[in-house]
Amino acid sequence: EIVLTQSPGTLSLSPGEGATLSCRASQSVLSDYLDWYQQKPGQAPRLLIFGTSSRATGIPDRFRGSGSGTDFTLTITRLEPEDFAVYYCQHYDPSPPQGTFGQGTKLEIK
Amino acid sequence: EVQLVESGGGLVQPGRSLRLSCAASGFTFDDYGMHWVRQAPGKGLEWVAGLTWNSGNIGYADSVRGRFSITRDNAKKSLFLQMNSLRPEDTALYYCAKQYYRGAFDIWGQGTRVTVSS
């Protein structure tokens, strides 16, 4: 079973700064199956990045995903006030269907 | 409008059963895999169960395997989660989600709350 470990647990930054969020897998995973979500309080999660580096519909280009093997990164350049939220990485194994989420990184306003 | 609407949550005693439903609209339901994801109060996301478009491939989290059953009715554009032998640790907001590219979930409902307590 793959375990995803996100770091840091909490990241305190100011609007306009850049953010780097890490997701480390306990074993190598296929890049096609690593995704990132944003969740704000009281809302359902929203897909940000799929297949490691592709932005979902409507996601601004200040969000960038990268990585391979066991190490994946979500980078947010020039933080906007609406970017402060909790971010989760997810790995999916298709056969049989099996999903795994990281524990989340809370991005808070400094 | 692409939409998922969950229902069926509520307060239930430990050991009892509950059946969640998810009604889909705005997309070709039987083209996509579907999943249930839950979130305990104040906690992170936990994938619960998922199945392919034709129910040919089904998977469960270890925490629910043998107690929960995921099914779908493509004619009715609906997803279901039968939850048996409920435990207090099953208390959570349960989301249904549509699978997009590979394993990404691009559409989520607003969730239905399940509370397991005596």
pLDDT digit string (tens) for B86-101? 999 999 999 999 999 7
- Inter-chain Cβ pairs, chain A and chain B, closer than 8 A: 88
3-class DSSP assignment, residue B102: coil
Query: What is the pLDDT, as a whole number, of residue A20?
Result: 98
Report whether pLDDT(B9) > 90: yes
Cα–Cα distance, A97 to A100 (Å, whole number)? 10
CA distance B40 to chain A (A): 12
CA distance A80 to chain B (A): 22
Contact call for residues A91 and A6 (beta carbons, < 8 A): no
What is chain B's mean pLDDT, rounded?
Answer: 97
Query: What is the pLDDT, as a whole number, of residue B101?
Result: 77
A2 is written with which tokens? 């793959």
pLDDT in tens, A12-39: 999 999 999 999 999 999 999 999 999 9
Contact call for residues B24 and B77 (beta carbons, < 8 A): yes
pLDDT in tens, A76-104: 999 999 999 999 999 999 989 999 999 99
Query: What is the pLDDT, as a whole number, of residue B102?
Result: 85
Beta bridge partners of A50: A54
Report whether pLDDT(B13) > 80: yes
Least confident of A19-23, A92-96, B56-60, B112-116: A92-96
Contact yes or no for B104 and A56 at CB 8 A = yes
Cα–Cα distance, A89 to A73 (Å, whole number)? 9
Contact yes or no for A44 and B103 at CB 8 A = no
* Chain A interface test: which of B43, B69, B105 (most A C-beta within 10 Å): B105
Mean pLDDT of B9-30: 98
Cα–Cα distance, A96 to B1 (Å, whole number)? 30
Cα–Cα distance, A101 to A109 (Å, whole number)? 24
